[in-house]
């Protein structure tokens, strides 16, 4: 169990979220993040975790509405996540779109349907 760090609420939640990601397998479902948080940092609110997942997922267009987004996750077509690697997944904008026009990168919309900038 992670005790609540003596810091701001946002920073404490972020520390717990980052620990959750570090403790998960390379490919994971969003439910696994919530389960890890519940088991290890129950003081972190579920809605905050959901918002953090959106904000930190490079190919989620909803991230543009969340301040402080970080390029940590990539959502796969099957709905699971993996850690974002620019060498593997390419460059993405803070709006959740491929950063380079004309690239062959494929992403996933929030509904899970595939889309491409081709």
Q: What is the pLDDT of residues 46-92, one digit of tens each?
A: 999 999 999 999 999 999 999 899 999 999 999 999 999 999 999 99
Q: Domain 9-101 has what CATH class?
A: mainly alpha
Q: What is the mean pLDDT of residues 93-105?
A: 73
Q: Mean pLDDT for the chain?
A: 86
CA 1 to the chain's CA centroid: 22
CB 90 within 8 Å of CB 99? yes
DSSP summary character for residue 85:
-
- Assess whether pLDDT exceeds 70 at residue 106: no
What is the spatial distance between Cα 35 and Cα 96, in angstroms, rounded to a whole number?
A: 26
Write down the H helix ranges in 1-118. Answer: 9-23, 30-40, 46-55, 86-89
pLDDT at 10 (0 to 100): 87
With bands split at pLDDT 50, 70 and 90, how would you rate the model's confidence at 3?
low
Q: Where are the domains of the chain?
A: 9-101
Residue carrying structure tokens 């919309």: 109
What SS3 class is residue 61?
Answer: helix
Q: What is the mean pLDDT of residues 9-27?
A: 95
CB 54 within 8 Å of CB 66? yes
CB 68 within 8 Å of CB 60? no
* In the chain, % of residues over pLDDT 70: 79
């Amino acid at each position: 169990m992670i005790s609540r760090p003596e810091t701001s609420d946002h920073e404490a939640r972020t520390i717990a979220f980052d620990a959750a990601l570090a403790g998960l397998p390379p490919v994971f479902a969003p439910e696994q993040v919530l389960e890890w948080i519940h088991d290890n940092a129950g003081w972190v609110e579920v809605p905050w975790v959901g918002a953090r997942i959106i904000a930190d997922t490079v190919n989620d267009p909803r991230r543009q509405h969340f301040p402080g987004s970080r390029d940590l996750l990539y959502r796969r077509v099957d709905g699971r996540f993996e850690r974002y690697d620019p060498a593997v997944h390419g460059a993405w904008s803070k709006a959740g779109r491929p950063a380079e026009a004309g690239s062959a990168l494929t992403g996933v919309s929030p509904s899970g349907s595939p889309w491409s900038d081709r």
